[in-house]
Amino acid sequence: MGRVLPWSEDSTPLMLAPMQGLTNRAMRAVQSEIGRPDVLFTEYVRVSAVSRKRVCASDQRESRPVAGQPPLVVQLIGHTPSALAAAAQLVQEQGVRHVNLNMGCPFGRSASGATGGAMLAAAETIPQCLRAIRQVVSGSFSVKVRSGYEDPEQIFSLLPVFEETGIDFLVLHPRTVVQKYDGAADHAITRRVVQQTVLPVIANGDVWNADQGRTLLARSGAAGLMTGRGAIADPWLFLRLRGECPDMPSPGERCREIRHYLGQLTLAYDELFCGEQQVLAKLKNVVEFFPDSCAKNWFKALRKSRSLAQFREVLADFPVREIE
């Protein structure tokens, strides 16, 4: 029997990475409209060991699939096998078909146990957690993992565990947990992992443009690609990777794209978040990801906006023709 996957097995899926505080349902809707990623991931869904508050109401709302959008993978973060299994069952009852366990977040230690990337420092707990989730998930079950806690070679000792416990695919970010986001993702490890496992491997880490993404796919042999920070800065990145729009737009076109993107986000955030200042803070957080040098003064003015009305005014009034 073949694996259940959130993409067609004869395709190369391009995935929007889960990013806490960023890939909420409003951002996912805008990314779906602009770049059309093949697969979406939720921010991590916190799993409580207390049954009456297993998954909070806001996380339940965030983890509901939306008709017309790409397949949604719900990412759980927790450390108790029975609680993780119960949470996986709960989100499935909401129509979720794809569940992922976060084993990569570098900020994932809670007061009661190791979660996220910290699970790799307590690797003896991993098999039981994976088996518990696998037993209840009828659709795809995957993990998102770093290459190790401190040792980047740790991933190779985990591959047999992943295969034996029946996960369907893995997403690999080849930094260690202690590195956080320092240094560079070592995709030579990604290539070696692809060679040493029968599981589909999704390459993740340091993909900011189409050329980097295509090179990574070619050199690693990965089944697909996941990008987070690159897509937040440029949601057209998925189209660029598919060759459906230019790899490098002109400065004027890039600014028109950004104006459209932030305009759509403003509308989506206004519906999701409570209060002007929260919407404004979320928009400024996105602006921080833009690496473009062509419009530094524009970005500075957006970040200095003191009201949503001022942000919209700066966004609308930028003279694109001056940089063309």
Choose, from 105, 129, 255, 274, the residue flagged as catalytic. 105
Given this model, what pLDDT does residue 324 score?
A: 46
Q: Is 255 a catalytic residue?
A: no
193-249 tens-digit pLDDT: 999 999 999 999 999 999 999 999 999 999 999 999 999 999 999 999 999 999 999
Domain at 14-241, CATH class: alpha beta
SS3 label, residue 163: helix
Distance separating alpha carbons of residues 233 and 290, to the nearest angstrom = 5
Distance separating alpha carbons of residues 32 and 35, to the nearest angstrom = 6
**What is the share, in percent, of the chain residues with pLDDT greater than 90?**
80
Residue with tokens 């190369």: 12
Given this model, what pLDDT does residue 292 score?
A: 65
Query: Residues 101-117: what's their mean pLDDT?
Result: 77
Q: pLDDT-derived band of residue 78, with 50, 70 and 90 as boundaries? A: very high
Given this model, what pLDDT does residue 106 score?
A: 84
Distance separating alpha carbons of residues 94 and 183, to the nearest angstrom = 39
Given this model, what pLDDT does residue 319 score?
A: 58
Measured CA to CA in angstroms, residue 67 lies from 33, 72, 95 at distances of 13, 10, 11
Strands (E), the chain: 14-16, 40-41, 45-46, 72-77, 98-103, 140-148, 169-176, 201-204, 224-227
133-162 tens-digit pLDDT: 999 999 999 999 999 999 999 999 999 999
Q: Does this model's pTM top 0.85? A: yes
Q: pLDDT-derived band of residue 32, with 50, 70 and 90 as boundaries? A: very high
Given this model, what pLDDT does residue 108 score?
A: 56
Given this model, what pLDDT does residue 2 score?
A: 63
242-282 tens-digit pLDDT: 999 999 998 888 888 999 999 999 999 999 998 899 999 99
Given this model, what pLDDT does residue 110 score?
A: 47
Joined together, the tokens standing for residue 86 give 């119960």
